[in-house]
Amino acid sequence: MVWTQGCALACEGCFNPDSHAKANGEIIEVPALARQVNASARASGLRGLTLSGGEPLAQARAVAHLLDRLDPALDVLLFTGHELAEIRRSSVMRAVIARCDAVLAGRYSAANDHPFAGKSLLLRGGRIRADELTPHHIIELVVGTGPNATVTGYPRRKTWTSTKN
């Protein structure tokens, strides 16, 4: 998973607001990142790379260069807040999409039951199937020794409401 830094879309209720500022995060040169991804995939047997953010298409040229340097055996899944119509108007964004096996596109809406809801799924080449991207409502709750807990995942609203009380 590669998380890009920077997003100007300002989707209401975004669950990853720390990724919006361009100045946050770690700067990694594209060739070094590609070497790291390729080596990790070889060592662990991973089949592909997922790109999210922030907004990966905010750095479309760098993402295209990264994808050009990846092992071609790796499949690529891109999560973007841009709508397909916006992507089609940008030659640089289209160049990134042309290098991806699957794209989940569209604005995030906190009103939806799952972050995938209301998005467009674009599949290219058959290496990623639609059923692999079926939304699941799975959560992980990590309780430490103090008063705080960390929740990751996407619970159903009803479940989340009942566990908060």
Residue 68, helix vs strand vs coil: helix
Judge residue 4's burial from the number of C-beta atoms within 10 Å of its C-beta, 0-12 exposed, 13-18 middle, 19 or more buried.
buried
Q: How far is CA 39 from the centre of its chain?
A: 20
In the DSSP assignment, the letter for residue 156 is: -
The number of helices, as runs of H, and strands, as runs of E, in the chain is 5, 7
pLDDT for the residue 162? 46
Compute the mean pLDDT over every residue in the chain, rounded to the nearest whole number.
Answer: 85
Residue 165 has pLDDT above 50, yes or no: no
- Across the range 83-89, mean pLDDT stands at 96
CATH class of 2-134: alpha beta
Domains in the chain: boundaries? 2-134, 136-165
Give the integer Cα–Cα distance in Å for 6 and 146.
32
In this prediction, residue 117 carries a pLDDT of 78
What would the mean pLDDT of 62-79 be, rounded to a whole number?
97
